[in-house]
Amino acid sequence: MNSESSIFRSLAALPGDRHVVTIGSFDGVHRGHQYLIQQVAEHASRLNAFALGVTFDPHPAEVLRPDKAPPRVCTTSVRTQEMLAAGLDRVVVLEFDHQMANQSADDFLSELVAATHPAGIIIGEDFAFGHKRQGTPEFLRERAGQYGYELTIVPRVNPDSQVEWSSSFIRREVAQNGNVRSAADALGRLFSLSGTVGDGEKRGRELGYPTANLRPPEGLIIPADGIYAALVDVNDEINQTGLPCLVYVGKRPTFDNDLRVIEVYILDFDADLYSRNITVHFIELVRPDRAFDSADELVQQMHNDEVNGRRILSEFGANVSTTLGN
C-alpha cells in the first residue's frame, strides 16, 4: 500500500491503519537494512497494510553508553528519508531516553500493537528491545498469537564477502581507513555529509585553490584525513547538483593547525557559498594527508591532486575535464 510516504515523530500521531512493522536503529540505512525494508514492503502489499518503520532518536547507545557511543553514519533526517526511499510508507521516530530504556518489552509491545495494529512484524535476527533487551525474536514469536500478527525474522544478508553490510563496517572504513568506496558498496550509494558553509582562514584562496569550509552536524563520522574526489550539491537558490570537487579533511599539518577542517574545492566553479547548505558525496580517496616542508611544495602537490582527482571523477562518470584550466 504505497498511497503515501509520511514521517511521524511518535506512535501517537499514527492514523488507525493496519501496518507491517519493522523496528531498529537503521543507522546509515545500508544494503542490509534495505533488504529488510523490502521484505516489509512486500508483506505489506500482500496483507493490504502500510509498511511502517519504527526507529529512535537519539541512537540508544548515546543514552545508555554515551562515553562509548559510536558516531552516526547519517542524521535522523537522512535516515528517515532513506528508509522511505527503500520502500516504507511511513516512519515513526521515537525519542529514546532512560524512561524508554527501562520500559519492559511487554509494555513496549503493548503500546506498539495499540498504535500500529500490526498485521505483521519483521525484524532482523539480532534485534532486541525493551529493558535488558528482553524483546527478543523468541519473545515476539510467543506473543504473535495473542496479538494476531505474523512474525518474520530476517537473517543477516551479505552476498559480497569483501564488504560487510553493517553500520560498524561503514564507520570503520570511512573514519579509520578513508575507504569511502567500500562504504559506498555497503550503503548502496555514496557516503555523504551535509552542512552549512562557514567562514575559514581563506588559506586555500591564498594558495590558488579557494575552498568552502563545510561544517556538518556534530556526532557524525568524518572521513579519515586526506584528499578525496567527490561530488557536491549546492542547495538554496543556486540549486546545482553533482558538481565535481576535491575535498580536504585534516588539520593542515604544513601550517601546524590544531583544528580539523573539511574544505571543498569545486572544480571549474566560482560562486560565493558562505552560509549556504551543501552536500558532499565522497567517491574515492586520492591520497592520505601529510605535512610538507614549504607552501610551494604543498601547492605542487595540490596541483598533482587535482590532476589525479579529475581522472578519478572522469572515470566515475562526472562531467569534468581531465585537463587543468579547461
Over residues 1-36, the pLDDT tens digits come to 655 679 999 999 999 999 999 999 999 999 999 999
pLDDT digits (tens, 9 = 90+) for 43-75: 999 999 999 999 999 999 999 999 999 999 999
154, 187, 208 - which closes a domain: 154
What the block records as the C-alpha cell of 292 is 610538507
- With a cut of 80, say whether residue 323 has pLDDT above it: no
Same structural domain, 184 and 148: no
Kind and range of the H or E element at 12? none
The mean of the pLDDT values for the chain is 92
Residues 48 and 63: their CA atoms lie apart, in Å, by 36
What the block records as the C-alpha cell of 203 is 588559506
The answer to the question of residue 83 being in a domain is: yes
Determine the average pLDDT of the residues in 283-298.
92
- The sign of the dihedral angle between the CA atoms of 82, 83, 87, 92 is negative
Same structural domain, 150 and 11: yes
Contact 139, 105 (CB under 8 A): yes
Same structural domain, 137 and 13: yes
Same structural domain, 144 and 262: no
Same structural domain, 136 and 260: no
Same structural domain, 148 and 10: yes
DSSP character at residue 188: T
Same structural domain, 198 and 103: no
CA distances from 198 to 89, 212, 262, 265, 278 (A): 36, 7, 10, 14, 11
Number of domains in the chain: 2
Determine the average pLDDT of the residues in 263-281.
92
Residue 61 CB neighbours (<10 A) = 15
Q: What is the pLDDT at residue 26? A: 96
The answer to the question of residue 291 being in a domain is: yes
pLDDT digits (tens, 9 = 90+) for 170-179: 999 999 999 9
Percent of the chain past pLDDT 70, that is, above it, reads: 94
Q: What is the pLDDT at residue 326? A: 46
Confidence label for 161 from pLDDT (cuts 50, 70 and 90): low
Backbone angles phi, psi at 200, to 5 degrees: -125, -165
CA distances from 132 to 15, 103, 104 (A): 30, 9, 8
The answer to the question of residue 325 being in a domain is: no
Q: What is the pLDDT at residue 84? A: 97
**Spatial CB neighbours of 233, under 8 Å, sequence gap ≥ 6:** 240, 241, 242, 243, 278, 279, 281
Residues 301 and 220: their CA atoms lie apart, in Å, by 29
Q: Any idea what the CATH number is for the domain that residue 122 is in?
A: 3.40.50.620
Percent of the chain past pLDDT 90, that is, above it, reads: 79
- With a cut of 70, say whether residue 324 has pLDDT above it: no
The answer to the question of residue 57 being in a domain is: yes
- With a cut of 70, say whether residue 182 has pLDDT above it: yes
Same structural domain, 16 and 150: yes
- With a cut of 90, say whether residue 277 has pLDDT above it: yes
Same structural domain, 310 and 266: yes
Find residue 266's DSSP bridge partners. Answer: 245
Determine the average pLDDT of the residues in 231-256.
88
Q: Any idea what the CATH number is for the domain that residue 298 is in?
A: 2.40.30.30
Confidence label for 271 from pLDDT (cuts 50, 70 and 90): confident
Q: Which domain holds residue 66?
A: 6-154
In 3D space, the residue among 229, 221, 203 whose CA is nearest the CA of residue 315 turns out to be: 229
Q: What is the pTM of this model?
A: 0.91
Determine the average pLDDT of the residues in 242-254.
92
The answer to the question of residue 165 being in a domain is: no
pLDDT digits (tens, 9 = 90+) for 99-158: 999 999 999 999 999 999 999 999 999 899 999 999 999 999 999 999 999 999 999 887
- With a cut of 80, say whether residue 325 has pLDDT above it: no
The answer to the question of residue 169 being in a domain is: no
pLDDT digits (tens, 9 = 90+) for 200-223: 655 555 555 888 999 999 999 999
Same structural domain, 149 and 198: no
Backbone angles phi, psi at 73, to 5 degrees: -75, -35
Alpha helices in 31-179 (DSSP H): 31-47, 60-64, 76-85, 98-101, 105-116, 137-142, 144-147, 167-171
Same structural domain, 139 and 214: no
Q: What is the pLDDT at residue 4? A: 64
154, 184, 212 - which closes a domain: 154
The answer to the question of residue 101 being in a domain is: yes
Same structural domain, 129 and 192: no
The answer to the question of residue 159 being in a domain is: no
